């Protein structure tokens, strides 16, 4: 049985919460559903299923992961620092992430990175990862 996007997201969040470089910046404020009036800074994790992955010997899912960092600062440096720690925690770290079902075949930074100002003092930075699970 192949892993689901939900199980993959759960494993990703557990990994982020286990890495001190991330939690030193956001504590445990890592969400799939951001609460009303959140405390800043925080991370929002968004996983979308892109389709099936198959080779001669393996079947799974090819997904796209977006990790968003939100900061309530006058400059983007805090959001940038969070994203930097997210990349360190996740990029090619398949063996350090446990899943309740299935397994990672591939978890790699896709090259996507962007940042922008949402409100006068809220910065958002986003980074993307390519994910293949079985």
Q: Which domain holds residue 38?
A: 5-133
- What are the pLDDT digits (tens) for 55-72? 666 677 888 999 999 999
Total domains in the chain come to 1
126: Cβ contacts below 8 Å, ≥ 6 apart = 66, 67, 68, 69, 83, 112, 113, 114, 115
Q: What is the pTM of this model?
A: 0.91
93 contacts: CB under 8 Å, gap ≥ 6: 15, 107
Distance from C-alpha of 134 to C-alpha of 119, rounded to nearest angstrom: 40
52 — pLDDT class (breaks 50, 70, 90): confident
CB 98 within 8 A of CB 14: yes
Give the count of alpha carbons within 13 A of 24, CB side only. 10
pLDDT tens by residue, 76-126: 999 999 999 999 999 999 999 988 888 887 899 998 899 999 888 899 999
Tokens 């006058």, residue located: 74
CATH number at residue 116: 3.30.2000.30
């Amino acid at each position: 049985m192949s892993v689901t996007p939900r199980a993959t997201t759960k494993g990703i969040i557990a990994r982020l919460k286990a890495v001190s470089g991330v939690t030193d910046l956001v504590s445990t404020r890592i969400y799939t559903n951001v609460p009303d009036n959140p405390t800043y800074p925080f991370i929002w994790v968004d996983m979308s299923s892109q389709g099936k992955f198959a080779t001669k010997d393996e079947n799974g899912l090819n997904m796209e992961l977006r990790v968003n960092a939100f900061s309530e600062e006058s400059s983007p440096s805090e959001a940038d620092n969070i994203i930097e720690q997210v990349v360190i925690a996740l990029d090619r770290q398949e063996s350090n992430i446990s899943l309740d079902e299935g397994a990672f075949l591939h978890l790699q930074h896709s090259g996507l990175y962007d940042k922008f100002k949402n409100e006068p003092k809220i910065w958002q930075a986003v980074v993307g990862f390519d994910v293949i699970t079985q």
